[in-house]
Amino acid sequence: MLNSKVSRRVFATAGAAALGCASLVAASAQSAGAAVSSPSPITYQSSTVPLQDLGAVNLTAIAGTGAPPPPSGSSNGTVLNSPENGVGPGNGNGPSLVHGTIGSGAGVGSTSGRDGGEIGFEGISGPQQAAVNGGGDLEPPDQGTCVGPSTNGGGPIDVEIINNAVAAYSTTGTPELAVTPTYALFNQPSTAFLSDPRCMYDATTHRWFFTEFVVGAVGPGNTELSPSIEFVAVSKTSNPLGNYEVFGIDTTDVANTAGGCPCFGDYDQIGADSNGFYIATNEFSTNEPFFNGAVVYAISKQRLESAAAGGTLPSVARYAITSDAFGQPYHVSPASTPSGGSFAPNTEFFVESNSDANSDNHLLVYALTGTQVLANGGNPALSATEVVSEPYAFPPNATQEAGTLPLGSTVGATSPSTIQTDFNAVQEVTYTEGNLYAELDTAIGTTSTPNAGISWFILNASSDHRGISASIRRQGYVANTANLMYPDIVVNGEGHGILDFSLSGTSNYPSAAYMTFNNGGPAGQIRIAAAGTAPEDGFTCYPAFVGSTSCRWGDYSGGQFWNGRVYLMAEYIPPSTRDFYTNWGTFAWSVTTP
C-alpha cells in the first residue's frame, strides 16, 4: 500500500555502533534581533470533541510480541509522508537559497569525533521493526525519544519509538524492553496502518505519554469504512514499562465534505504546559489532493492522568485553523518544557515557519492562553503574532558518499541517490525561562553550491491580557561542507543542551551528529556521534520500487533532557546486518549538559 500523504515502512539494522571521526567545517552565524512581533490574524473554529477509552495495555506483558511474517517471508515496502510525492504546501518546486555570508567564529574547525562524555548505542533496527510487524519494511523511521525514571523509581531509562516499534534501554544500551510493535502498545490489530510516533515523559505528572495515528479505511465514493484516530497511551504510574490506558481522538472530520473528508491528522506533534497536553496535526483528505490546514487538540494534563487511573474521561478542545498570515497553516509546532524548566503561566506556545512558500523571513508564534480552563472542559483562547526573522528556504536534497549498493545494483543503480531533507518547517519547539527554541532545515550557500543546513531561533515570548508578545533574541545558521538534516534543539531548564541532526555529504555516509547548544546558540564543533558505514540504499531511493528518485529519511530526530544529561536520537546507516529492502538504523546517545 502506498499513499503519498501517509507512508512510513522500511527496515534498518542495529547492533554495536562504531563511533567514528570526521573532519568537518561548521559555521554558526549568531545575531541578536530587536524585531518585535505584531498581531497576526488567524481564522479558526473551536469545538469540543470526545475522548475515547480504547482499553488498557501492560507494556511488559506485550514486550517482544508481534505479528508473524507472511508465509512467503517477503516484505512489502511502504513509504510514509513523502514530500516528493506532494505532501504539504510549497513542496516539490526545487530549492530556493538563503543568500549571504555564513559567519565564522564559533563552530568552525575540524572535530576528532565524539565528545569525551558521550555514551551511545545502536537503537531499533529495520529488521527488528519488521520482525515484530509481520515482515513489513518501513521508510523512513521517524523517531521519538523520552527519558525518565526506571521501573523502581531509579533511572534513568531511555525509550525509543519509531514507525512502528518501541523499545527501552538502560543508558548504556542494555535492553530493558524488547522491541515491540506499536500496534500492540495502542491496543490495535496488526493490520493497523500507523504513522508518526512521538513520546514524552512529563516530570510534573510523573507520567509517560505516547502518540501515533492511524488512517481510516475508505470505500468507493470516499465513504468512511473506519475512522482515522489519533492514539494517546498514558502510563497509569511513573513506571514506563507497566500499565497504560489507551485513548483515541477521532480525526476523520467526516462532516467536512467541502474539505474532501473523511480525513486524517498527519505529522502529529506533541507538547505540554503546566495545564495541558497538546497534539498539533495537519489535516489531509484520504482522497487526494485536499489539504485543510492545521488542527490542534488540547486536553487537561491532570484529567488525562486521572482518566488513565480510571477517572472520568476529559473532553478535548479542538481548534481547526484554516488560515493565517502564511495562507493555510502547516506544522504549527507545540512547545514542551524540560524537566526543571519553567512553564509559561497558563499558556501554551506554538511556532510556525512559512512552509507554504519556498523561502521567507517570518515566523508566527501562536498561543493558547488561559489553559487552566481545560480542567473544567473549557476552550482556551487562541491567537497569533508575527515576527521578522532571518531568511530560510526549502532545502535541497542531501548528497551521499559513494559506496556499494546491494539493493540499487539489482535495479541498475551505480551511484547513491540523494536523500530528501523534507521542507523548511519547524519540527520541534522547547519553552523555558521565557524563551522558545525552534529549528528547521534550510537551503544555504550559493546558487552553484547549495547545501542543506540548519536555521535556529531563540525567541522571547510572553502573553497577558493585551495579547502575545514575541521577539527574536538570537538566531543563526549551522552550515557544513556536508548536508545537515532534521535538527532538534534539546535543552535543560536553563537553555543549555545539544543540537542534534543527521549529516550526509560527498565525503560522509549518513551519520548521527550534534553540536553543543546554549542560551546564546550553537557553540564549539560539529561532532559525529556515530559515523555511517554505507550509503542509504533503501527501496524509496529507486523508481523501480516506489517511483521516487531520492531516498526518504526520518522526518525528525528526537531528544529529551533528564537529570543532568541530554538524551538524543538520530537516523544513520549502521554497521549491522541489513535486510533486502533497507539498511537504515537509529543511534541513541547522551552527553552531560554543557
- The secondary structure of 512-560, three-state, reads EEEEEEECCEEEEEEEEEECCCCCCCCHHHCHHHHCCCCECCCCCCEEE
Give the per-residue pLDDT at 264: 96
pLDDT of the residue at 11? 23
Task: Give 175's Cβ-side CA count (13 Å radius).
Answer: 15
**With bands split at pLDDT 50, 70 and 90, how would you rate the model's confidence at 584?**
very high
- Mean pLDDT of the region 509-537: 95
Spatial contact of 144 and 233, defined as CB atoms under 8 Å apart:
no
d(CA 72, CA 134): 11
Q: Who wins on pLDDT, 100 or 157? A: 157
* pLDDT value, residue 167: 97
Q: Is the pLDDT of residue 101 over 50?
A: no
DSSP sequence for 445-465 = E-SSSEEEEEEEEEEEEEEET
Kindly tell me the number of DSSP H helices and DSSP E strands found in the chain. 5, 37
Sheet of strand 194-202, all strands in order from the earlier edge strand to the far edge = 52-58, 243-250, 229-235, 207-214, 194-202
pLDDT in tens, 32-82: 554 567 889 999 999 999 999 999 999 999 999 887 765 543 445 555 443
Please give the single-letter amino acid code of residue 95.
Answer: P
Per-residue pLDDT tens over the stretch 304-343 = 999 999 999 999 999 999 999 999 999 999 999 999 999 9
φ, ψ dihedrals at 459, nearest 5°: -115, 135
Over 70: is that where the pLDDT of 4 sits?
A: no
- For the stretch 14-36, pLDDT in tens is 222 222 223 343 445 555 554 56
Residue 115 confidence (pLDDT):
65
Strands (E), 324-358: 333-336, 347-353
- 437-455 pLDDT tens trace: 999 999 998 777 889 999 9
Is residue 85 pLDDT above 70, yes or no? Answer: no
Q: How far apart are CA 16 and CA 464, in angstroms?
A: 51
Rounded to the nearest integer, the mean pLDDT of the chain is 86
pLDDT at 36: 64
Closest CA to 584 of 13, 5, 1, 9: 13
DSSP 31: B
- Is pLDDT of 489 > 70? yes
By percentage, how much of the chain surpasses pLDDT 70?
85
Q: Is 221 helix (H, G, I), strand (E, B) or coil?
A: helix
- The answer to whether 432 and 495 have CB atoms below 8 angstroms apart is yes
Structure confidence by residue, pLDDT tens digits, 410-434:
999 999 999 999 899 999 999 999 9
Query: 164 preceded by cis ω (within 30°)?
Result: yes
* Per-residue pLDDT at 205 exceeds 90: yes
Answer yes or no: is pLDDT of 385 > 80.
yes
Cα–Cα distance for residue pair 495/471, rounded to 1 Å = 17
